[in-house]
């Protein structure tokens, strides 16, 4: 079964625009779970422009599905993950001021840097996922450094889906086949939406999890979050 993890960063962005606690990101996460979401994802950044470290701590006390914290593995981030001990930490190569993720790790080249980080988080009892491009070599490298999963960066699939969905998904199918061959878990995320998710899941049926935020919140403006979660789940189940 492929889990749907809802990234709630955009909810925090809306809250922070007014400097108050409306919408309440903790209540929103609880409601997402109540409506069927199978995980909650957050990406705390150093400037706290959306999710704050205090949010992470509060969420860790109430999330009853899988809590996934993603981010660049700075010392502050690693200490927060060790403190909170979520189900999963997803390591992304974003610079602190990045607007959003724009590439996966080059695990082949950063092998020596990432290995001790993976080992450190696993000692804390946290499952570790590495954000990578759809490249079998990067999937193998993630396995070699001890990661439990990879998360495939799916922007290229989303960008090319309308023109030729089979060509767009082909590299991801190859990466997923390699993940299955070597025995590493498989997640995916970035620009997946109601238009392209069902086909992606059909071609990659062994996905463990998809993490989706921006599209879900945009759709919720028109349909409401309960209906939107229901529709995304239908693409996966």
In degrees and rounded to multiples of 5, residue 4 shows phi and psi of -100, 115
Q: Which residues of 7-18 are buried (b: 16+ CB within 10 A; e: fewer)?
A: bbbbbbeebeee
Residue 237 annotated in active site:
no
Given the residues 70, 151, 178, 209, the one annotated as active site: 70
* Encoded tokens for 23: 């919408």
Distance CA 95, CA 41 (A): 19
**What are the beta bridge partners of residue 69?**
42, 89
Residue 70 annotated in active site:
yes
Cβ 180 vs Cβ 149: under 8 Å? no
CA distances from 88 to 42, 66, 68, 206 (A): 11, 8, 5, 18
**What are the beta bridge partners of residue 13?**
none
Residue 43 annotated in active site:
yes
Catalytically active residues, by annotation: 43, 70, 190
């Amino acid at each position: 079964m492929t889990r749907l993890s809802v990234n709630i960063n955009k909810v925090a962005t809306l809250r922070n625009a007014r400097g108050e606690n409306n919408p309440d990101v903790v209540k929103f996460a609880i409601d997402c779970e109540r409506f069927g979401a199978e995980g909650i994802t957050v990406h705390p950044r150093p400037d706290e422009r959306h999710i704050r470290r205090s949010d992470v701590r509060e969420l860790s006390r109430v999330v009853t599905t899988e809590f996934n914290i993603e981010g660049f593995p700075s010392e502050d981030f690693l200490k927060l993950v060790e403190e909170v001990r979520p189900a999963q930490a997803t390591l992304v190569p974003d610079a602190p001021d990045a607007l959003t993720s724009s590439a996966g790790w080059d695990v082949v080249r950063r092998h020596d840097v990432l290995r001790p980080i993976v080992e450190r988080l696993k000692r804390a009892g946290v499952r570790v996922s590495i954000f990578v491009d759809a490249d079998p070599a990067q999937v193998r490298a993630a396995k070699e450094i001890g990661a439990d999963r990879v998360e495939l960066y799916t922007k290229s699939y989303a960008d090319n889906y309308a023109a030729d969905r089979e060509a767009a998904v082909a590299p991801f199918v190859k990466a997923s086949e390699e993940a299955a061959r070597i025995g590493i878990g498989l997640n995916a995320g970035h620009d997946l939406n109601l238009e392209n998710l069902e086909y992606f899941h059909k071609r990659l049926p062994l996905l463990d999890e998809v993490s989706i935020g921006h599209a879900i919140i945009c759709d919720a403006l028109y349909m409401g979050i309960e209906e939107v979660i229901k529709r995304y789940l239908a693409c996966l189940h």
